[in-house]
Amino acid sequence: MPTIYDVAREAGVSAATVSRVLNGQRTVDPDMVARVLTAVRELNYRPNAVARNLRRSRTTLWAVIISDIGNPFFTDTVRGIEDVAQQAGYSIVLCNSDENPAKEETYVTAALSEQMAGVIISSSGSAKAAKTLLDSPVPVVAIDRVLPRGTVDTVVVDNEAAARTATRHLLESGYERIACITGPEGVSTADLRLRGYVDALAVEPVVARTDFREQGGYDAMAGLLASPSRPDAVFVTNNLMTVGALRCLADRGIDVPGEMGLVGFDEIPWADLVRPSLTTVAQPTYELGRMAARLLVDRIAAPSAKPATVVLPAELRPRQSSTRPSPAS
Amino acid sequence: MPTIYDVAREAGVSAATVSRVLNGQRTVDPDMVARVLTAVRELNYRPNAVARNLRRSRTTLWAVIISDIGNPFFTDTVRGIEDVAQQAGYSIVLCNSDENPAKEETYVTAALSEQMAGVIISSSGSAKAAKTLLDSPVPVVAIDRVLPRGTVDTVVVDNEAAARTATRHLLESGYERIACITGPEGVSTADLRLRGYVDALAVEPVVARTDFREQGGYDAMAGLLASPSRPDAVFVTNNLMTVGALRCLADRGIDVPGEMGLVGFDEIPWADLVRPSLTTVAQPTYELGRMAARLLVDRIAAPSAKPATVVLPAELRPRQSSTRPSPAS
DNA sequence: GTGAAAGCGCTAACAT
DNA sequence: ATGTTAGCGCTTTCAC
């Protein structure tokens, strides 16, 4: 691979001039610019970003650490981040922790080692990863989930209120024994959505904790069906688990919404195509991403400003899965 | 941020020794190892990967450039890549081109500038990106889609055969006017699946070209419905477009599979939850990812070996959407 | 087994 | 407006 010196020699100028041309400084003679550009083309020269980053002691990369690449929630969120990042001159690298704290720690370490300009993270709950991040000088924005014990810029939805709304909706639909399937303790969305559910309920809550994955939702649903306190409706606190629960119900031939009402958190791209269509709590995903990216841009500009928390509203989308055909018998 | 010299000073050794300890060389006195490790901990030292990469003139990063992060196809594929990569000592960075050639070119350029150790790419069809890659010394593996005019390691499924099977399946189910919705010209999967469809058909083909996105599928379906050669079945060559077509059909209240048969390419996680459940051509996604990663490992080890093409089988999964309730009237 | 020193490729003072 | 030079933080000969 040719270096900047090869280009300089070819163009008959100094490396500094080549650098100036390539970085768009206007204090260069047009003739030289032309010569440099020709040399660049002829040698098929490509600047070595590693060297540049070392010299500048900074990069233009953001690490976006998400908890599950298979979760449609992140699709639009990442787009939102990317659109803002690009405009601000940053590129993003996606890291998929797969809800695995060890993987998350690996990616956090890598992001720091690679001198990333910033990190946007949806924490899988690893306190260690959070601490590493907080102990470092790297600008961080937490998205979707609060960073464990972290005082950083944060973008979330009003999880508790949305969960309350979802639960009340099931109550108003006539369901009486409403259970909740939620995610791991210590993950803010799991805990807050659970709290909203408990809050809306007048009776004793029935709670199943699992991971935020589809299989977890399946197993939790199966457990609830077999339990003595078998519910007649379930509030599930994320989309993947909702799919699992739905599949479990389908496998057992249990009628939704007749025998079992269902409300899921997070929109699912095909929620309206399933029969019964799925009642969900929809989040402004693209906007979440945009907002997180904006906060990160601001944070990089002003590292010591007071951290902000942005809370966006989520919205209940009632569909068939929570619409009881007839009142409880 | 502390440097290796800070650690060296703190431990009372030379930077070279710190480097040896950190890189696991066993020719270091155990006492010194202990002192270095203590100093590392006390200073919260983290090696600067940018400097290391520059010095070593190589990185341990792979760029994985996929064409649409929202496509479930890539979820398992990326997992397959990641599992092999990790084992081989590489980390992957995900780049989402969103079926946008310009974005793809940006990511390719970035991957080269950043001195990535390898690239795995699902081409969105940009000849420019392909050329840039081929003109560079970076090891490349094409996945899912053949690289335009590229002679590189490639992992694909037998698209033409699978498309033939899918089309024949519709014929055998009693459909007579079968259309095909496919992706952009120049994208190998779009072209090969179309060819398989044409091949299996005895009559004049009806073809709608669009992008590989959901909206494209919706619009293409709408167009077919309005056309004089309105089909009674459709073969759709990727999952996202299939969803779009399905939504279009649902919006218009057209009965599937009665009025319109449907077979989609690519499995969809919830294909069995939709009513009617979706007949699909399933690909071995995880295995595709693993295989691509293995090829990349081999290619890095032997840059001048002859490029390999691995063709994996795809499998038809007949479900309700292609099962005609009664023969054509 | 350990240290001194060079250099990866680039940018940014500084000098001219 | 252009060139010279130092140095970003690390690894790796090369001496000892």
pLDDT digits (tens, 9 = 90+) for A273-303: 888 899 999 999 999 999 999 999 999 999 9
**B118-121/B153-157 β-pairing:** unpaired
Domain B159-282+316-322 CATH class label: alpha beta
* Residue with the larger pLDDT of the pair A118 and B150: A118
| Partner residue facing B96 (CB), from A78, A109, A135 | A78
- Mark which residues 131-150 of A lie under 8 Å from B by CB: 135-137
- For the entire predicted model, the pTM comes to 0.93
CA dist., res. B141 & res. B126, Å (int) = 15
User: If DSSP codes are grouped into helix, strand and coil, which group holds residue B111?
Assistant: helix
DSSP letter string, A248-261: HHHHTT--TTTT-E
Model pLDDT, residue A327: 53
| Domain A55-157+285-314 architecture | 3-Layer(aba) Sandwich (3.40)
Is it true that domain A4-47 has CATH number 1.20.1260.10? no
> Which tokens is A267 given?
């929109």
Flag whether pLDDT at A329 surpasses 50. Answer: no
Flag whether pLDDT at A328 surpasses 90. Answer: no
Shortest CA distance from B131: residue in chain A: A44
- Name the segment(s) of chain A with CATH classification 3.40.50.2300: 55-157+285-314, 159-282+316-322
Model pLDDT, residue A325: 77
> Which tokens is A4 given?
């900047």
C1' of C12 to CA of A14 (Å): 14
CA dist., res. B170 & res. B166, Å (int) = 7
Q: Which letter does DSSP use for residue A321 in this model?
A: G
Torsion, Cα B244 B248 B249 B253, to 10 degrees, reads 150
Mean pLDDT over each residue of chain A, to the nearest integer: 95
CB proximity B23–strand C (7 Å threshold):
no
CA dist., res. B233 & res. B217, Å (int) = 14
Measured in angstroms, the CA of A204 and the nearest CA of chain B are apart by: 32
- Name the segment(s) of chain A with CATH classification 1.10.260.40: 4-47
Task: Report the phi/psi class of residue B142: left, alpha or beta, with left for phi > 0 and alpha for psi in -120 to 50.
Answer: beta
Is residue A27 very low, low, confident or very high in pLDDT (cuts 50, 70, 90)? Answer: confident
Cβ–Cβ below 8 Å for A115 and B247: no
C1' of C6 to CA of B3 (Å): 18
Across B192-265, where does the E strand assignment appear? Answer: 206-209, 233-236, 261-265
Flag whether pLDDT at A164 surpasses 60. Answer: yes
| Partner residue facing B46 (CB), from A72, A107, A113 | A113
Note the strand C nucleotides within 7 A of protein beta carbons.
1-5, 7-13
Model pLDDT, residue A324: 86
Residues from chain B that touch A78, judged by Cβ atoms under 8 A, are 69, 96
Shortest CA distance from A51: residue in chain B: B54
CB proximity A1–strand C (7 Å threshold):
yes
Model pLDDT, residue A12: 95
- Mark which residues 89-108 of A lie under 8 Å from B by CB: 91, 93-96, 98, 106-107
| pLDDT < 70 stretches in chain B | 326-329
CA dist., res. A81 & res. A89, Å (int) = 12
Protein residue nearest nucleotide C6, by CA to C1': B55
Which one, of B114, B89, B4, lies nearest residue B301 by Cα? B89
Flag whether pLDDT at A326 surpasses 80. Answer: no
Model pLDDT, residue B328: 47
Shortest CA distance from B268: residue in chain A: A270
Shortest CA distance from B83: residue in chain A: A103
Measured in angstroms, the CA of A72 and the nearest CA of chain B are apart by: 7
